[in-house]
């Protein structure tokens, strides 16, 4: 059994990182240190289209990029269940083969899979999967609860980091305009309520979309929702 205090101590090691990339790396490193797993594959997840995309993996050979890994989670029942129920899931043996798509049959082929959802508040935004365990490890319900807790706590760390970055990324006025768009106001209404021209409104929107790396204003609003900047 891993105590809540022990998990919190390792979470603090993640919180002190100075960049997003270092944070993700440390997140997997602490995960492998805490739990009886030998690898960790990190995926981002979007509920639009049920699409998951690989980011990178921490294995016994080091850190590797897995951007080529993309999947519709509905093709893997265990992944779908972990995300829809918001709980870590484990499968092995015949159950593993039944619940897993070929894209998750990676590593040594030991026939095990653990899926740990990562939460942003109540929304799952990604997950960690492991395909190899320490020899003799037993994954029971208590252990799965500890995996689930880890996913919730690292989600909070990511959320705090995103808030810090985005508070610098978007100006106060840009964020205000994007929040009004999210509430359903059009350009004319925003111009009237903020007492600025429609051209200025459009410039704020254009700037916010660019800073967020979004394709359009709808995409930018969705990204702010995902990061918790708009609720």
Contacts of 59-65 with CB under 8 Å at 24 or more apart are: 59/107, 63/25
Model confidence at 77, in pLDDT bands (50, 70, 90)? very high
Q: What is the pLDDT of residue 104?
A: 61
Query: For 9-34, how does the pLDDT look when each residue is reduced to its tens digit (9 = 90+)?
Result: 989 888 888 777 888 899 999 999 99
Q: What is the pLDDT of residue 120?
A: 80
Q: What is the pLDDT of residue 228?
A: 65
Contact yes or no for 154/127 (Cβ under 8 A): no
- More confidently predicted of 55 and 111: 55
Q: What is the pLDDT of residue 49?
A: 82
**Is this prediction's pTM over 0.85?**
no
- Written as six digits, the tokens of 181 are 């768009």
Model confidence at 143, in pLDDT bands (50, 70, 90)? very high
Residue the block writes with tokens 């990324």:
169
Q: What is the pLDDT of residue 108?
A: 46
Q: What is the pLDDT of residue 225?
A: 78
Model confidence at 161, in pLDDT bands (50, 70, 90)? low
Fold of the 4-165 domain: Beta-Lactamase (3.30.450)
Q: What is the pLDDT of residue 206?
A: 93
Domain extent listing, the chain: 4-165, 170-226
> Distance between CA 132 and CA 70 in Å, rounded?
20
Asked whether the predicted pLDDT for residue 106 surpasses 60, the reply is no
- More confidently predicted of 106 and 28: 28
Stretch 51-77: mean pLDDT: 90
Stretch 146-158: mean pLDDT: 91
Domain 170-226 is found in CATH 1.10.10.10: yes
Stretch 53-80: mean pLDDT: 90
Stretch 61-78: mean pLDDT: 89
* Top mean-pLDDT range of 34-43, 108-117, 120-129: 34-43
The overall average pLDDT reported for the chain is: 86
- Cα 107 versus chain centre, distance: 22
Asked whether the predicted pLDDT for residue 103 surpasses 70, the reply is no
> Distance between CA 73 and CA 125 in Å, rounded?
13
Q: How many CB atoms lie within 10 A of CB 76?
A: 22
Stretch 176-187: mean pLDDT: 92
């Amino acid at each position: 059994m891993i105590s809540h205090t022990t998990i919190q101590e390792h979470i603090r090691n993640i919180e002190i990182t100075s960049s997003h990339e270092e944070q993700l790396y440390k997140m997997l490193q602490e995960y492998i240190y805490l739990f009886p797993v030998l690898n960790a594959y990190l995926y981002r997840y979007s509920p639009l289209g049920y699409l998951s995309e690989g980011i990178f993996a921490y294995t016994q050979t080091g850190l590797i990029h897995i951007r080529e890994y993309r999947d519709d989670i509905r093709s893997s029942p265990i992944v779908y269940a972990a995300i829809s129920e918001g709980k870590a899931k484990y499968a092995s043996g015949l159950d593993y083969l039944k619940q897993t798509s070929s894209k998750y049959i990676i590593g040594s082929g030991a026939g095990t899979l653990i899926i740990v959802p990562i939460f942003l508040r109540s929304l799952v935004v990604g997950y960690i999967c492991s395909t190899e365990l320490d020899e003799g490890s037993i994954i029971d319900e208590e252990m799965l609860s500890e995996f689930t807790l880890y996913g919730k706590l690292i989600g909070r760390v990511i959320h705090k980091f995103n808030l810090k970055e985005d508070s610098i990324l978007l100006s106060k006025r840009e964020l205000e305009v994007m929040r009004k768009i999210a509430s359903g106001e059009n350009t004319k209404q925003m111009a009237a309520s903020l007492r600025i021209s429609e051209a200025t409104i459009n410039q704020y929107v254009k700037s916010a979309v660019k800073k967020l790396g979004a394709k359009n204003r709808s995409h930018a609003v969705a990204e702010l929702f995902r990061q918790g900047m708009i609720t």
